[in-house]
Structure 1
């Protein structure tokens, strides 16, 4: 009986040691890969800037100023987000917001939201997500044209009922079998518009060279 108990104790110790080693390995891999992933996302954000601008502005030799803000209520994260001011001849022609939809079906959805000078939307792009292939990933332009629904849209006020998916009484299409993802993106884009309406002058005054 003693030998059997010693064997069980030994096996349990080995299993615990194996579990610890696996956990440690995951932590180490995450420690070294997370900064690289973050750098790749930032690079993608910069590359995607032209995609959310009007075609005319994207083809011009514009300048940029930037403002770093921390607005979890409106931009979806307690991490700093960047607002880019796109300028022609020292006049602001557009704004590009980094934003996050925190309530996607499979977690956060990172967005770029472009606004024209009149606060209408020039474009929206998803730059990172973990949504379900074949369902939620239709937010990508290579999978569907769903994201183009935002082009030219504006916001009347914070209670603008159009800013919801059709299932909730709004104007935006959802995906068959997947309402959570489009609902999250619509909400995130609306929050950008709300924030911009209140803070546009402050953004103009405080932005600096990128």
Structure 2
């Protein structure tokens, strides 16, 4: 009888804890989603500064690209911003890439990653990310300085390659679908 009473008490405590966690999760999930959406909108504005509005593209036939937006200014398309997920050393790397009408990369922002602190996590540093600006695809990763190549982060070549692959993926998609994505009035 004593064991049954202890089991019931343990069950009650566990049920209260699980219920509390579920309740807190239901309160925080919408806030987290709004913050993530806000961060993505800020990233889009920074990557394609010329645009004053972004129109979502519904049909994307590339599994790596999760969302794609046409940036417009006064109703005229000025470029593309896309969110892509690629595989780095520590797992998925979610990044956003901005490309203008001339197929130049306007910028790259890492939204989420699980790379090694002090190595792959350094990919967020401007010294690495700014290398992509004003370049055209295809880009290659190298260990020495070059104008049309990306210098790898020391000790994080896999991460550097993954980010470059993601940027190349978006640039290739935009190039192959440029007519329908950037048509006038879009």
- Work out whether 1:132 is the aligned partner of 2:87: no
2:132 alignment counterpart:
150
Normalised by the length of structure 2, the TM-score is: 0.73
Give the structure 2 partner of residue 179 of structure 1. 157
Q: Does 1:41 align with 2:22?
A: no
Aligned to 1:67: 56
In the alignment, is the contact (CA less than 8 A) between 1:86 and 1:96 conserved in 2?
A: no
Structure 2 portions without partners, runs of 5+: none
Residue in structure 1 matched with residue 142 of structure 2 by the alignment:
166
8 Å Cα contact 2:94-2:110 kept in structure 1: yes
Aligned pair partner of 1:95 in 64, 71, 80: 80
CA gap of 1:65–1:207, structure 2 versus 1, over 3 A, is: farther
- 1:137-168 CA deviation, whole Å, 9 max, x = no partner? 2122xx3410111111112xxxx4x43x226x
Query: Which residue does the alignment assign to 2:72?
Result: 86
Q: Bigger shift: 121-130 or 183-192?
A: 121-130
Contact 1:67/1:206, CA 8 A, preserved across alignment: no
Q: State the superposition RMSD in angstroms.
A: 3.4
Matched position secondary structure for 1:133: coil
Q: 1:191 aligns with which of 155, 163, 169?
A: 169
Classify 1:100/1:10 alpha carbon distance in 2 versus 1 (closer, same or farther; 3 Å).
farther
Establish whether residue 123 from structure 1 lines up as the match of residue 107 from structure 2. Answer: yes
Q: 1:176 to 1:10 in 2, by over 3 A?
A: farther
Do 1:74 and 1:195's aligned partners in 2 also have CA atoms closer than 8 Å? no
2:179 corresponding residue in structure 1: 201
The alpha-carbon deviation at position 91 of structure 1 amounts to: 3.0
CA distance in 2, matches of 1:206, 1:107: 39
